Structure 1
Amino acid sequence: MTEYIEVPGGRIAYDVTGEGPLVILAPGMGVVRATFRLLAPKLVEAGYRVATIDLRGHGESSVPFDSYSITDGGKDLAALIRHLGGGPAVVLGNSFSSGTAAWVAATEPSLVSGIVLEAPFARTVSMNPFMRQLAKVILSSPALWGMYYKNLLKGPKPADFPAYLKTLKANMKERGRLAAARTMGLDDKPEMEGVLPRVFQPALVVMGTKDPDFPDPKVEAELVAGELAGTTEIVMIEGSGHYPHQEFPAETAAAVLAFLGQVAPTPQGAA
């Protein structure tokens, strides 16, 4: 069931299921929280309270907001954790949201016990003019975004993927949502400068070996892990693209649950 939390400038949609230690699942830009439809139930079954969130301007969250930065997303995550009892929570961020997960861990350390960075865009980047123009074109049309998004999955697509993709494109057709995604997609993430070295909580970096968003996914995973100050593990999901939680949900869940067992064990797991 969709619930909402009020934040400065609008409201953020989320749902929460299960009982136990709190886990927040945050999707990437241009994606809705149903992206975690295969992963979330596995975490709930293992004894966790799981909240999935729609980024500002996405899904059922309101639009427009004045700003869609990493900092804004991090503040939204902090507000949700406080709203759900103050945590501490483990935050999993995919793609753009990996930066928000790291930001809230560094800035509000009492709220976060650990982070999972999946296919992370967690460092300051600088797109060359050609790639920036290409991104503008792709993020100018729900149909083009749908084609690009589909290409980001290099592993097996879920059986319900056609229906999910149809829903995703329909959401992007709503006024203001494509503009929100475009703003996030073109963000060079200057706020991430110096953030990763201030993350002292344990971290897990999950990366698909065939992620097309990175020239060398393993190298990117190692760069991110190398900047984090806390204990960090890397798990490469063989054959996966940018969304391991959709392409290989069992393997992704196994990696995440092993990490959760260390940083936020359930009562039965701790026994």
Structure 2
Amino acid sequence: MSEFVEVPGGRIAYEVTGDATGPLVVLAPGMGDLRTAYRHVAPALAAAGYRVVTTDLRGHGESAAGFASYTVGDGADDLAALVRHLGGGPAIVVGHSFSGGTAPLLSVREPSLVRGLVLVAPFARPVSPNPVMKLMARLVLSSPALWGMYYKNLYKGPRPADFPAHLAAIKTNMRERGRMAAARTMGLDTKPEMAGLLPQVSVPALVVMGAKDPDFPDPRAEAETVAAELGGPAEIVMIDGAGHYPHQECPAETTEALLRFLRQVAPTGDGVSA
């Protein structure tokens, strides 16, 4: 069931499943996606005793559109508001792609709210697109149809059986007023807030990367760079055969990696409720 937390300029949609007394795990999707991106992962985390929260990004899903800005910093503020609304955590925050930048930024800005990070195919560093890349990004993010074509191309592993329905839901959502513009703004964000940030992250982190992720010239090298720059203990899990969406292409392997990390950082029954 959808619930909402009010933030300056609008509201953020989320859904809670699992053990109400278990450690809090917040799952944030990437740009141009919905919180149902975690539909093949969240049930297993909930069954393992965690309080699992999936959230829509601002401008996406059931969250409000029409915000004044859509930066990585805005996303971190939204996550902070959500964790506080849910009792203050501390939470393990899972961020994919764009949210792979908001999650570590949150941990630096609000360290009391975060006890661990999982960064899935993260854009966790500033980006400097050349003019051709900027033009392509504007084109891809100009319509739901073009975004859908690009989104499909980011899957290099097996697509789940319900992929057509998920993609149709994304495109339907993107046709709503203000949502395509929100995704476009996020996609063109150069993420200046991320400059020099990763060394300030002190909580344990897991970097999950699809070995065939087309968003990075060398996915393993990107994962290793992010892990090396993080200031706290970090490990890497490469998902063979997966592209940019390992949590959808290879959910069993991704869930196994998540649960292994969660049990290390926030074991259920440890006396800490969230």
TM above 0.5, yes or no, is: yes
1:4 is matched with 4
Amino acid at match of 2:12: I
Of the candidates 50, 54, 57, which is equivalent to residue 52 of structure 1?
54
Q: How many residues align?
A: 270
User: Residue 115 of structure 1: CA displacement?
Assistant: 0.2
Distance in 1 (CA, whole Å) between partners of 2:108 and 2:155 is 30
1:185 is matched with 187
2:215 is matched with 213
User: Residue 195 of structure 1: CA displacement?
Assistant: 1.2
User: Residue 128 of structure 1: CA displacement?
Assistant: 0.4
Distance in 2 (CA, whole Å) between partners of 1:64 and 1:187 is 17
8 Å CA contact 1:27–1:35 kept in 2: the answer is yes
- 1:14 paired with 2:18, answer no
8 Å CA contact 1:261–1:269 kept in 2: the answer is no
User: Residue 268 of structure 1: CA displacement?
Assistant: 8.1
1:154 is matched with 156
Q: Deviations over 1:219-249 (max 9, x none)?
A: 0001111110000000000000001000011
Evaluate the alpha carbon distance shift between residue 269 and residue 162 of structure 1 in structure 2; reply closer, same or farther with a 3 A threshold: farther
Distance in 1 (CA, whole Å) between partners of 2:237 and 2:271 is 21
8 Å CA contact 1:115–1:203 kept in 2: the answer is yes
Using structure 1 for the length normalisation, give the TM-score: 0.98
Amino acid at match of 1:163: A
Distance in 2 (CA, whole Å) between partners of 1:114 and 1:216 is 25
Distance in 1 (CA, whole Å) between partners of 2:239 and 2:55 is 24
Amino acid at match of 2:2: T
For the aligned residue pairs, the C-alpha RMSD in angstroms reads 1.2
DSSP 3-state at the match of 1:59: coil
Q: Deviations over 1:32-71 (max 9, x none)?
A: 1011110100100111000000000000001110010011
8 Å CA contact 1:29–1:181 kept in 2: the answer is yes
Distance in 2 (CA, whole Å) between partners of 1:98 and 1:154 is 20
Distance in 1 (CA, whole Å) between partners of 2:271 and 2:196 is 35
Evaluate the alpha carbon distance shift between residue 269 and residue 7 of structure 1 in structure 2; reply closer, same or farther with a 3 A threshold: closer
Amino acid at match of 1:88: P
Distance in 1 (CA, whole Å) between partners of 2:54 and 2:86 is 12
DSSP 3-state at the match of 2:27: strand
Q: Deviations over 1:87-109 (max 9, x none)?
A: 00000000000100000011111
Report sequence identity in percent: 69
Which stretches in structure 1 are left out of the alignment for 5+ residues?
Answer: none
Q: Which runs of 4+ in 1 moved over 6 A?
A: none
1:89 is matched with 91
Q: Deviations over 1:107-133 (max 9, x none)?
A: 111100000000010000100000100
Of the candidates 107, 110, 114, which is equivalent to residue 109 of structure 2?
107
1:75 is matched with 77
Using structure 2 for the length normalisation, give the TM-score: 0.97
Amino acid at match of 2:141: L
DSSP 3-state at the match of 1:15: strand
Q: Deviations over 1:132-178 (max 9, x none)?
A: 00000000010000000011011111111111111110001111100
